[in-house]
Amino acid sequence: MSEFHTGSRAFDGDSPASVMAAIVERPAPSVGAVAPAALDRIVQKCLSKAPDDRWQSARDLRTALSWSSQVGLPATPGGLPTNIPTGVGVGASGTIYFSSDIENAIYKVVKK
């Protein structure tokens, strides 16, 4: 989720070992600059260093996402979903697909 909202990886490095070290040593970056505070709290909990502080099941995470599902995007005809996507996929051609369980919909995003 962090990479989806910020466009960059939460933890980066020059090698797999440096990425692992960053995960262990650095705090998780905030997505608060590009996402609502509720989503930032959810991402922070996903990236918590202590396993007991993370979501204990995918169902718990899904419930938290549904409680804070409105991400503040303006609803526009033909626009992106206003709820947090519950699934993202990229086709071989680069087409991006979002799913929204809350809206029971699949969106196809293409560059104009």
Residues 112 and 97 in one domain: yes
Supply the DSSP symbol for 70.
Answer: B
| Rounded distance between C-alpha atoms, residue 36 and residue 66, angstroms | 14
The predicted structure's pLDDT at residue 95:
75
Query: 103 with 66: CB under 8 angstroms?
Result: no
Kindly tell me the sign of the dihedral angle through the C-alpha atoms of 1, 98, 37, 35: positive
Are 87 and 54 part of one and the same domain?
no
Whether residues 37 and 62 share a domain: the answer is yes
For residue 90, give its domain range: 71-112
pTM of the model: 0.53
Pair (1, 42) in one structural domain: yes
Q: Are residues 59 and 4 in the same domain?
A: yes
CA dihedral over 108, 6, 58, 66, signed as positive or negative = negative
Domains held by the chain: number: 2
Residues 53 and 79 in one domain: no
Q: What is the pLDDT of residues 16-66, one digit of tens each?
A: 898 888 888 888 888 877 777 888 888 888 888 888 998 898 888 877 776
Are 12 and 58 contained in the same domain?
A: yes
pLDDT class of 74 with cuts at 50, 70, 90: low
Domain end among 33, 51, 68: 68
**Do 80 and 61 fall within a single domain?**
no
Residue 87 tokens, joined? 């699934």
pLDDT at 3 over 80: no
- 54 and 21 in one domain? yes
> Same domain for 58 and 33?
yes
